[in-house]
């Protein structure tokens, strides 16, 4: 069977004309189902040199998938109504930074590049538990590449870049600006960055399960070509971007992105409700023996907890934007989670809990604690995470996948909940200092773990 490429696919794919204008770090499935898809359609509609140079920091996997295919890949949208397929052409090339550092810096430094964007996951920002930059980690991340490119841009008068974080961090743009600022320091380069670059906040949303061999086989059977870069997603997508760009940008607003003055209400609702519910479904669902999100959300022992977490615990802590209806949002989220065609694995969501849970659960727990309100659903979910860390899912799903796995395992060893809470949540503990359980909350956790 012939492989998808410009030679085998004469229509060339949506958005495959134009030069490179964006360098994107972390060109995994999420980016290809989200920003690259918006960009492809914006270029098809409004033109512009906005093709994407994708960068993987170390792994050559995506480069091996996409470069032989001229960057083309099939995006499959799946729901109860069936599946649709489209070929996306927005990705011009994939570079592996560990092998091709000079080219990555060339792309970032090019005057024709106006945007650097990121889906490097929560841990890719290299933050210490106190939220500040962990310099040792940062040296192996994207930071030195940016610094070198900024030096060239500053020297050559290429102008600033807009840096867009598309990861699920709260205030992701602000955090990125602060962390890059910490990396660059107070010297002339730090000053150049502050004066010339912007880091708008952005809320990104689209559920994108990891691609499986069956997904690739399904596309091959339906299309007649072999595509190693297939990405599967849901019909829904949302991108809310703070309208604060250092230079030009694609016409993303013409293809559904929302350019707004303030992203925080959307982002807080998304993190605490969608992602908060997702993580609860993951840990509660795995313990109950489920594999997929749609199974966990249909479990009568789990569904009421997840609904309560969103509607009664998270939503009251959020100040909605004008017109934002959090109850309708919860309904829509439950319908999305029920999409059984997506086959979204709980174990995918369960990874990296130490990086995800502060903004998904702990911020809500803290807000409720300040008001003296109980959070039984969140505490049930938290107990399920602690059981996950104790190794209860290891036999079926393998070792806990988290950058702090050994430290977390030590923190939950022994079974004394007060000691565990201290190691995890106290100032100087393993997680950012967002929330600490009070006596009642400790009791609830101890009961759930007994
Ligand atoms: C999920 C997210 O894996 C996870 O942790 O909660 O990737 C989620 O699917 C996306 O944020 C949806 O926009």
The pLDDT assigned to 12 comes to 82
The pLDDT assigned to 263 comes to 96
In a domain, 8, yes or no: no
The pLDDT assigned to 414 comes to 81
Does 211 share its domain with 348? no
Per the structure, the complete domain to which residue 313 belongs is given by 264-449
Does 242 share its domain with 286? no
Domain final residue pick, 208, 231, 260 = 260
Give the whole-angstrom CA distance, residue 135 versus residue 389.
27
In a 10 Å sphere around its CB, with 0-12 CB exposed, 13-18 middle and 19+ buried, how is residue 450 labelled? exposed
Does 245 share its domain with 293? no
Which helix (H) or strand (E) segment holds residue 51: the answer is strand 51-56
Give the whole-angstrom CA distance, residue 225 versus residue 223.
6
In a domain, 328, yes or no: yes
Q: Which of 119, 169, 207, 276 to mutate to test the pocket of ligand 1 (most atoms within 8 A of CB)?
A: 207
Give the whole-angstrom CA distance, residue 373 versus residue 356.
23
Kindly report the number of other CB atoms within 10 A of residue 47's CB atom: 13
Does 351 share its domain with 252? no
Q: What CATH number corresponds to the domain at position 315? A: 1.10.1040.10
Total tally of structural domains belonging to the chain? 2
Regarding the beta carbon of 424 and ligand 1, being less than 6 Å apart is answered no
Regarding the beta carbon of 158 and ligand 1, being less than 6 Å apart is answered no
Does 329 share its domain with 200? no
Token reading at 411: 């923190």
Does 190 share its domain with 133? yes
Cβ proximity of 230 and 216 under 8 Å: yes
In a domain, 211, yes or no: yes
Does 275 share its domain with 224? no
In a domain, 4, yes or no: no
Does 224 share its domain with 277? no
The pLDDT assigned to 168 comes to 97
- 119: closest CA among 54, 74, 177? 54
In a domain, 11, yes or no: no
Whole-number Å distance, alpha carbon 256 to ligand 1 midpoint, is 20
Residue whose CA lies nearest to ligand 1 atom number 11: 205
Strands lying side by side in the sheet with 231-233: 82-88, 73-79, 231-233
Domain final residue pick, 212, 235, 260 = 260
Q: What CATH number corresponds to the domain at position 231? A: 3.40.50.720
Ligand 1 atom nearest to CA at 204: 13
Give the whole-angstrom CA distance, residue 273 versus residue 268.
8
Does 255 share its domain with 269? no
pTM exceeds 0.85 for this model: yes
Token reading at 347: 């174990």
Regarding the beta carbon of 387 and ligand 1, being less than 6 Å apart is answered no
Which helix (H) or strand (E) segment holds residue 379: the answer is helix 376-389
Q: Which of 30, 169, 232 to mutate to test the pocket of ligand 1 (most atoms within 8 A of CB)?
A: 30
323 phi/psi in degrees, rounded to 5: 85, -5
Q: Which of 123, 167, 168, 281 to mutate to test the pocket of ligand 1 (most atoms within 8 A of CB)?
A: 168
Does 97 share its domain with 215? yes
33 phi/psi in degrees, rounded to 5: -90, -10
- 401: closest CA among 273, 283, 281? 283
pLDDT in single tens digits along all 450 residues of the chain = 999 999 988 788 888 889 999 999 999 999 999 999 999 999 999 999 999 999 999 999 999 999 999 999 999 999 999 999 999 999 999 999 999 999 999 999 999 999 999 999 999 999 998 899 999 999 999 999 999 999 999 999 899 999 999 999 999 999 999 999 999 999 999 999 999 999 999 999 999 999 999 999 999 999 999 999 999 999 999 999 999 999 999 999 999 999 999 999 999 999 999 999 999 999 999 999 999 999 999 999 999 999 999 999 999 999 999 999 999 999 999 999 999 999 999 999 999 999 999 999 999 999 999 999 999 999 999 999 999 999 999 999 999 999 999 999 999 998 799 999 999 999 999 999 999 999 999 999 999 998
Give the whole-angstrom CA distance, residue 15 versus residue 122.
29
Regarding the beta carbon of 70 and ligand 1, being less than 6 Å apart is answered no
The pLDDT assigned to 8 comes to 87
Regarding the beta carbon of 16 and ligand 1, being less than 6 Å apart is answered no
Give the whole-angstrom CA distance, residue 9 versus residue 3.
9
Does 341 share its domain with 435? yes
Q: Which of 278, 292, 355 to mutate to test the pocket of ligand 1 (most atoms within 8 A of CB)?
A: 278
Regarding the beta carbon of 272 and ligand 1, being less than 6 Å apart is answered no
Domain final residue pick, 237, 260, 283 = 260
Residue whose CA lies nearest to ligand 1 atom number 10: 207
The pLDDT assigned to 9 comes to 85
In a domain, 326, yes or no: yes
Whole-number Å distance, alpha carbon 232 to ligand 1 midpoint, is 14
Residue whose CA lies nearest to ligand 1 atom number 8: 207
Place of tokens 């709980």: 346
In a domain, 5, yes or no: no
Regarding the beta carbon of 268 and ligand 1, being less than 6 Å apart is answered no
Token reading at 3: 């492989």
Give the whole-angstrom CA distance, residue 207 versus residue 277.
13
Does 394 share its domain with 412? yes
In a domain, 356, yes or no: yes
The pLDDT assigned to 16 comes to 87
The pLDDT assigned to 175 comes to 98
């Amino acid at each position: 069977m012939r492989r998808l490429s410009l030679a085998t696919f004469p229509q060339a794919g949506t958005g495959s004309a134009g030069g490179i204008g964006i360098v994107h770090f972390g060109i995994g499935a999420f980016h290809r189902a989200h920003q690259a898809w918006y960009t492809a359609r914006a270029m098809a509609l409004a033109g512009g040199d906005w093709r994407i140079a994708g960068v993987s920091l170390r792994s050559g996997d995506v480069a091996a998938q996409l470069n032989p295919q001229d960057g083309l890949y099939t995006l499959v949208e799946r729901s109860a109504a069936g599946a649709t397929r489209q070929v996306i052409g927005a990705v011009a090339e994939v570079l592996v930074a560990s092998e091709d550092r000079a080219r990555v810096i060339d792309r970032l430094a090019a005057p024709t590049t106006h945007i650097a964007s990121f889906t490097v996951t929560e841990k890719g920002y290299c933050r210490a538990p106190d939220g500040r930059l962990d310099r040792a980690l940062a040296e192996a991340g994207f930071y030195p590449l940016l610094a070198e490119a900024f030096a060239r841009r500053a020297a050559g008068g290429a102008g600033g870049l807009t840096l867009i974080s598309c990861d699920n961090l709260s205030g992701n743009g602000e955090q990125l600006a602060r962390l890059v600022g910490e990396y660059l320091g107070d010297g002339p380069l730090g000053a150049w960055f502050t004066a010339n670059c912007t880091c708008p906040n952005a809320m990104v949303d689209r559920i994108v399960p990891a691609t499986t061999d069956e997904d690739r086989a399904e596309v091959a059977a339906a299309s007649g070509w072999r595509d190693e870069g297939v990405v599967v997603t849901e019909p829904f997508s949302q991108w809310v971007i703070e309208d604060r760009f250092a230079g030009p940008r694609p016409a993303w607003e013409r293809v559904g992105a929302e350019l707004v003055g303030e992203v925080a209400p959307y982002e807080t609702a998304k993190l605490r409700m969608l992602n908060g519910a997702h993580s609860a479904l993951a840990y509660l669902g795995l313990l109950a023996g489920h594999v997929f999100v749609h199974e966990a959300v249909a479990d009568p022992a789990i569904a009421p907890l997840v609904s309560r977490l969103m509607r009664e615990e998270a939503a009251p802590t959020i100040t909605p934007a004008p017109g934002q209806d959090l109850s309708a949002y919860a309904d829509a989220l439950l319908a999305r989670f029920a999409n059984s065609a997506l086959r979204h694995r709980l174990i995918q969501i369960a990874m990296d809990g130490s990086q995800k849970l502060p903004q998904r659960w702990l911020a809500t727990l803290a807000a409720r604690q300040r008001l003296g309100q109980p959070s039984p659903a969140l505490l049930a979910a938290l107990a399920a995470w602690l059981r996950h860390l104790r190794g209860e899912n290891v036999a079926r799903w393998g070792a806990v996948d988290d950058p702090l796995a050994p430290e977390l395992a030590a923190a939950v060893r022994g079974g004394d909940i007060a000691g565990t809470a201290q190691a995890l949540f106290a100032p100087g503990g393993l997680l950012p200092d967002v929330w600490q359980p009070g006596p009642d909350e400790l009791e609830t956790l101890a009961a759930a773990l007994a």
